[in-house]
């Protein structure tokens, strides 16, 4: 556990993020879904793609292929037509391989063990973690680049290498967990990073965490220093 992060403070921050999210959350069809297969498809489509762009394609796709067995029997050219709408035509082959593997290896049911999920073609650490949390209720945070950025700013942490794989960043992210709310907190962090704690031009003045955030406090001190300097110049 990072010595500089107080668990009680981290929990308080997690709770405040949830309060913010219940008022400002974004609604997407996959967030109401409990079918692990459909959650998997959503996560594949969402990689490097805007969620708003994914919505109509996702709905068409799961309507055409409502089960992993349906997808495993599909023709490549048909699947490609859906992914071409997202500019991801090349991903169709991997999705078909994924479906066939799940049917042949796991009898059409996505496994609940992370090591088994990682066996599936096209499933990496992030997608496996998302399935575990959003489909199976695992008590962990789905760590993506948004979460890394939020953690770094909140606690003035610095990731090493790829942030979402940094064990210290992950430890801090897990300290934010509110019991029984891992799924909601993961969505909240995604939305918080997209709407407030943005990669560029973060909306610190509107942030409910500004007084608890290391980056926010530094920004406030800097603004006060500039303001004081301006007053002296008058």
Q: Which of 58, 82, 144, 152 is catalytic?
A: 144
Q: Which candidate in 12, 15, 97, 126 is catalytic?
A: 126
| Cβ-contact 148, 159 below 8 angstroms | yes
The token pair at 186 is 């993961």
**Structure tokens of 118?**
């990682």
CA distances (Å), 45 to each of 26, 70, 163, 219, 231, in order? 17, 18, 22, 36, 52
d(CA 75, CA 141): 36
Distance of CA 89 to the CA centre of its chain: 23
Q: Is 126 a catalytic residue?
A: yes
97 tagged catalytic: no
Report how far residue 149's alpha carbon sits from residue 166's, in angstroms, rounded to the nearest whole number.
12
CB count within 10 Å of CB 228 equals 10
- Residue 9's contacts (CB-CB under 8 Å, 6 or more residues apart) are 212
Dihedral pair phi/psi, residue 80, rounded to 5° = -60, -35
- Is residue 227 part of the annotated active site? The answer reads no
If phi > 0 it is left, if psi is from -120 to 50 it is alpha, else beta; for residue 110 that is beta
Q: What is the Cα–Cα distance from 80 to 56, expressed in whole angstroms?
A: 15
Catalytic residue annotation = 43, 126, 144
């Amino acid at each position: 556990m990072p010595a500089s992060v107080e668990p009680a403070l981290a929990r308080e921050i997690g709770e405040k993020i949830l309060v913010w999210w219940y008022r400002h959350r974004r609604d997407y069809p996959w967030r109401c879904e409990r079918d692990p297969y459909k959650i998997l498809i959503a996560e594949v489509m969402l990689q490097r793609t805007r969620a708003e762009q994914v919505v109509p394609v996702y709905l068409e796709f799961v309507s055409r292929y409502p089960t992993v067995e349906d997808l495993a029997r599909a023709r490549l050219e048909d699947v490609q037509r859906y992914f071409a709408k997202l500019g991801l035509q090349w991903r169709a082959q991997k999705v078909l391989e994924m479906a066939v593997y799940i049917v042949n290896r796991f009898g059409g049911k996505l496994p609940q063990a992370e090591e088994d999920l990682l066996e599936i073609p096209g499933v990496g650490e992030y997608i496996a973690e998302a399935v575990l949390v959003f489909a199976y209720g695992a008590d962990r945070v789905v760590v993506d680049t948004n979460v890394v950025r939020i953690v770094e700013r909140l606690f003035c942490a610095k990731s090493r290498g790829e942030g979402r794989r940094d064990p210290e960043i992950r430890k801090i992210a897990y300290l934010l967990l509110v019991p029984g709310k891992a799924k909601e907190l993961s969505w909240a962090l995604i939305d918080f990073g997209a709407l407030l704690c943005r990669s560029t031009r973060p909306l610190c003045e509107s942030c409910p965490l500004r007084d608890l955030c290391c980056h926010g406090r530094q920004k406030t001190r800097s603004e006060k220093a500039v303001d004081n300097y301006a007053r002296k110049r008058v």
